[in-house]
Amino acid sequence: MTKPPVPNNWDNNWQRIPVDPTDPDTAWILKLAVSGADGWALGPHGPLHDRGMALADITTGAVRHGLLHLLELGLIDIDTERLRQAGSFPLRRELPEEPTP
């Protein structure tokens, strides 16, 4: 897969890589990430046991543990060259959310 170039300034949009969440391999990765996030959320350090946790803390914890789960399993790699090339990153997804299965 050829990745689109990294934008060279803040005014340029990032070209997105198309991802099909219904593709069986992609769906499997998503399920594993959700399992990592759910494990944290339902575990002793998650919001189920810390009912005073702010929504932002819940989101951060779930995303962090879902991504760490995939990284630890070796299923995703960090493109450090691309990471270091970029001067800025979009903070929100531009695509509409896919329906929850």
Note the pLDDT of residue 16. Answer: 84
Q: Give the pTM.
A: 0.77
Note the pLDDT of residue 98. Answer: 60
Locate the DSSP E strands across 9-94: none
Note the pLDDT of residue 87. Answer: 79
Short-list 45, 44, 75, 71, CA closest to 60: 45
Q: Say yes or no to pLDDT of 2 above 90.
A: no
Rounded Cα distance, 54 and 47, in Å: 9
Which residue type occupies 90? P
In sequence order, the 6+-apart residues with CB closer than 8 A to the CB of 4 are: 14, 15, 16, 17
Note the pLDDT of residue 68. Answer: 96
pLDDT per residue as tens digits for the range 39-73: 999 999 999 888 889 999 999 999 999 999 999 99
pLDDT per residue as tens digits for the range 65-96: 999 999 999 999 999 998 888 878 887 777 66
Note the pLDDT of residue 56. Answer: 94
pLDDT band at 24 (very low <50, low <70, confident <90, very high): very high
Short-list 88, 64, 80, 65, CA closest to 11: 88
Residue spans per domain, the chain? 24-77
9-29 b/e with 16+ CB inside 10 Å = b?
A: eeeeeeeeeeeeeeeeeeeeb
